[in-house]
Amino acid sequence: MKNTKFIFVMGGTVSSLGKGVASSSIGYLLQSRGVNLTLLKIDPYINVDPGTMNPYQHGEVYVLDDGAETDLDLGHYERYTNLTLTRKNNFTTGQVYQTVIMRERRGDYLGKTVQVVPHITDEIKRRILDVARGKDLIIVEIGGTIGDIEGQPFIEAIRQMRFDVGRENTLYIVLTLIPYIRVSGELKTKPTQHSVRELQSLGIQPDIILCRTEKPLTDEMKGKISLFCNVEKEAVITAIDVENIYEIPLKFHQERLEQLIIKKLNLKCDSLSIDEWEEMVYRIKHPEDKVDIAFVGKYTRLKESYKSLTEAFVHAGARLNLRVNLNWVDAEEINPSKVDHIFSHVNGIIVPGGFGERGIEGKIEAVRYARERKIPFLGICLGMQCAVIEFARNVAHLNDANSEEFCPESSCKVIHLARRWTKNGEIIERNEKSEKGGTMRLGAYPCQIKRGTKAYQAYNEELIYERHRHRYEFNNDYRKILEDNGFIVSGESPGGEFAEIVEIKDHPFFVGTQFHPEFKSRPLSPHPLILEFVKSAYEKGRTEKKHL
Ligand code: GLN
């Protein structure tokens, strides 16, 4: 195996410091210097994957091309590096134990006592090495915070790895919080000292400390952290709070972080080229105008559960020189008497994906408003399904139209459970009783686009691949009657079994997608449909202003 280098990123003091973005930023910088790398997220919880976890607790479930339901940090990894990751790039304690217990049952351990060290730690290392194969470098992010019980086997495994692959090939990075105490006007290093000491007690001496802080660290403070934590002063890096996360690689570069990593790991590199990225960050910070879009969701309290979508709007805004203001609307608050008031200030309406019945009628009402008032509309997954129901009820007069998800007894299930389909030649079957974790259409599927539609105008391509995560589908039995009323299926699976994109006639922009376009939006290549949607919302705002 070639000499792969390993960077391990851990978090100290508190959670939510942005380890995922920090790892992605390091990835971006090293990649911009020609390093062929990959990233891996290890989640210490016992769930086998985050697919069944509550978005309130876990944030977004990010879906990869291969259908893996992963931690939202994988979204950051893909956005910063443009890599297409696979299910191997994210694993959990649950998966590690599942493998080890399966082997034990099979008798592979030949009667030995199966233990955390070495059996669990060996399986962790095997998985890390498996992802790293063939790469110059891998960045491994350990979820959770140093000192968590769940994280211990992972910390132990990566401690051992320094011995296995050599000191010169490993680098330990810790991200900690330097709190600012307003009353005394001071930054405090003590929590960092404690976290690092805890890590040292587990046998790991960090090489680099990233200090998340509101205020720049003084030279003196860097000296103090260096002394107490046993790292060189140049390896104490200020990770200053920034307005938008895409600035972080630029800040890290200014702090000479990637130069330090290159030196410490003795990497062979090209010179840095980040002009395009700098330009994108500049546009986000200096928009020429703004556009207001209503975001009609269920989890509006927890914006993390729509991470990829909110980021996709940042990408589109950067391309168009616009600030996209998302007005968060709780679907349960919407009813016919309030719609005018709720949507009077917006130029576009988006209904994103979601599960469960709550807020559905409000979402359908939002669709009706967008359709009738000719407000640019984008419906994603559940949002597209709501658009189909709305059209069926109010235009095609199918009054009982509903989704099997919310109303299994409806006589007119325009959205229903697909029971059988093919993926890459393989037949997939399921029914109402199939396990929760395994019944969805997941990952990238091809979609053929009809010429002369809004979808074609956006993609300018006939065959695209987009990522899915849903159980229910458009019911083709109703296609004809809806089409007769002005409904358009502008994208479908190559065999025609699934409607993937829908539109309506005579509307400036009304598009629903069964897939999630947001998973493929990147800062330097915004998603074409989201871009078109924002563009038409902005156009609408401009024409209205002119008429005032
Ligand atoms: N609940 C719907 C389904 O399962 C939509 C899912 C989604 O929006 N991701 O089909």
pLDDT in tens, the chain (548 residues): 468 999 999 999 998 899 999 999 999 999 999 999 999 999 999 999 888 887 777 789 999 999 999 999 999 999 999 999 999 999 999 999 999 999 999 999 999 999 999 999 999 999 999 999 999 999 999 999 999 999 999 999 999 999 999 999 999 999 999 999 999 999 999 999 999 999 999 999 999 999 999 999 999 999 999 999 999 999 999 999 999 999 999 999 999 999 999 999 999 999 989 999 999 999 999 999 999 999 998 766 678 889 999 999 999 999 999 999 999 999 999 999 999 999 999 999 999 999 989 999 999 999 999 999 999 999 999 999 999 999 999 999 999 999 999 999 999 999 999 888 777 778 888 776 665 545 789 999 999 999 999 999 999 999 999 999 999 999 999 999 999 999 999 999 999 999 999 999 999 999 999 999 999 999 999 999 999 999 999 998 888 877 76
Supply the pTM of this predicted model.
0.95
Please say if 269 is a catalytic residue: no
Torsion angle of C-alpha atoms 238, 7, 23, 99, degrees rounded to 10: -140
Per-residue pLDDT at 222: 97
Superfamily of domain 287-547: Class I glutamine amidotransferase (GATase) domain (3.40.50.880)
Q: Which atom of ligand 1 is nearest to the CA of 353?
A: 8
In this structure, the residues whose C-beta lies within 6 A of any atom of ligand 1 are: 353-355, 381-382, 405, 469-472
Q: Burial, 5: exposed, middle or buried (Cβ in 10 Å; 0-12, 13-18, 19+)?
A: buried
Distances in Å between the alpha carbon of 144 and those of 92, 153, 195, 488, 497? 12, 12, 13, 47, 42
Distance 330 CA to ligand 1 centre (A): 18
Q: Which mutation among 363, 364, 385 tests ligand 1's pocket best, with the greatest number of atoms within 8 A of CB?
A: 385
Please say if 497 is a catalytic residue: no
**What average pLDDT is seen over the chain?**
95
Residue of 129, 137, 133, 136 lying closest to 91 (CA atoms): 129
Q: Which atom of ligand 1 is nearest to the CA of 356?
A: 1
Q: With contact defined as beta carbons under 8 Å apart, do 43 and 91 qualify?
A: yes
Looking at the chain, the whole-number percentage of residues with pLDDT higher than 90 is: 88
pLDDT digit string (tens) for 440-489? 899 999 999 999 999 999 999 999 999 999 999 999 999 999 999 999 99
| Through-space distance between the first and last CA atoms of the chain, rounded to whole angstroms | 68
Q: What CATH class has 5-279? A: alpha beta
Reading the block at residue 178, the tokens are 């330097």
- Cβ-Cβ contacts under 8 Å for 452 (sequence gap 6 or more): none
Torsion angle of C-alpha atoms 135, 160, 232, 274, degrees rounded to 10: 20
Domain(s) labelled CATH 3.40.50.880 in the chain stretch across: 287-547
**CA separation for the pair 510, 516 (Å, rounded):** 16
Domain(s) labelled CATH 3.40.50.300 in the chain stretch across: 5-279
| Protein residue with its CA nearest to atom 8 in ligand 1 | 353
Distance 400 CA to ligand 1 centre (A): 20
Q: Which of 211, 381, 386, 447 is catalytic?
A: 381
Q: With contact defined as beta carbons under 8 Å apart, do 446 and 495 qualify?
A: no
Please say if 60 is a catalytic residue: no
